[in-house]
Amino acid sequence: MSKSTLPVVVLSAEEREWLTRVVRTGAHPAQEVRRSRILLELDDARRRPIGRRDIAERVGVVPDTITNVARAYAERGGDVAATIQRRKRLTPPVEPKITGEVEARLIAMACASPPKGHARWSLRLLERQVALVEDIPNMDHSTIGRVLKKRRFALT
C-alpha cells in the first residue's frame, strides 16, 4: 500500500453516532477523541474525495497519523472501538522478582527472632539473611524496606 492510497473506512450509522458522542462529550482521553475525529473524517472522505493532508490539517495532526489510524482500522477488521482505544499489554515487560510468595517468606523471616548477637532485625541484616536462603531471589536492603513498608510492617 502506497502512502497516497488509504484503506477505505466505512462506518455504520451507529458507529458514526458513537464516534460523534466520543468527540463531543469530552469524557474520553484525548487520543481516543483524536482517533475518532480521524475515523469520522475518513468516512466523510469516502463520500467526497479529499486527501490525507487535508484531513490532517482539519484534525490537527501530521498526515502519517491519518495513515496509521486508517491502517489500524483495516488491520482490526473494521472494529471501531479497537481502533480508537489503546491496546492492552498481555504481559508486563519484565517479570516481577518479588511475588506474593517471596513477600510472605520475607515477612515471616522478619517476624522470627533475630540471629544471636542482634537485638532486632535491620534491613541490612535481613538483606544478608535473604542472600543465604536459596529459593528467595537476592534483594537489596532498599527493596526489602519497600516490601515491608508496602505491607505496613515495622521492624521494631
44, three cell numbers: 466523510
Q: Which residue has the cell 537489596?
A: 140
Residue 3, pLDDT > 90, answer no
Closest CA to 38 of 63, 14, 12: 63
Mean pLDDT of 118-133: 93
Does residue 135 register a pLDDT over 90?
A: no
Q: Is pTM beyond 0.75 here?
A: no
Question: pLDDT for 40-78, tens place per residue?
Answer: 999 888 777 788 899 999 999 999 999 999 999 999 998
* Lowest-pLDDT range of 92-96, 106-110, 140-144: 92-96
Q: Give residue 93's region: left, alpha or beta (phi > 0; psi -120 to 50).
A: alpha
**Quick one: cell of 143?**
527493596
pLDDT band, very low/low/confident/very high, at 24 (cuts 50, 70, 90): very high
Q: What's the rounded mean pLDDT across residues 79-96?
A: 85
The CB-based long-range contact list for 89-95 (8 Å cut-off, 24+ gap) reads none
Integer Rg of the chain from CA: 27
Please give the span between the terminal C-alpha atoms of the chain, in angstroms, as a whole number. 67
